[in-house]
Amino acid sequence: GIDINKKKVEQTEGEAAKKFYSLFSTAIERRMRMDVNFGTSLSGGLDSSAIASFIAKDQQIRLKTFSARFK
């Protein structure tokens, strides 16, 4: 099991994946509740790519992204 805050949690990998997806999607959807255009920054990491991918799956949203590059 996983020890979170001294509380043992027993779950399968599949259950953990479902819970993560639920929390991840809820967090993104809450931030998308707006009536103005929005975008996201792509850092090249897994987290920003996952967020952009999740938003882009909704064909009604035209996602704008930006990234910065330094020498």
pLDDT digits (tens, 9 = 90+) for 45-63: 888 889 888 888 876 777 8
Average pLDDT score, the chain: 83
pLDDT of residue 4: 60
pLDDT of residue 19: 93
The arithmetic mean of pLDDT across residues 7-31, rounded, is 89
Q: What is the pTM of this model?
A: 0.68
Chain-centroid distance, C-alpha 16: 15
> 19-51: b or e for each residue (b if 16 or more CB lie within 10 Å)?
eeeeeeeeeeeeeeeeeeeeebeeeeeeeeeeb
pLDDT at residue 67 tops 80: yes
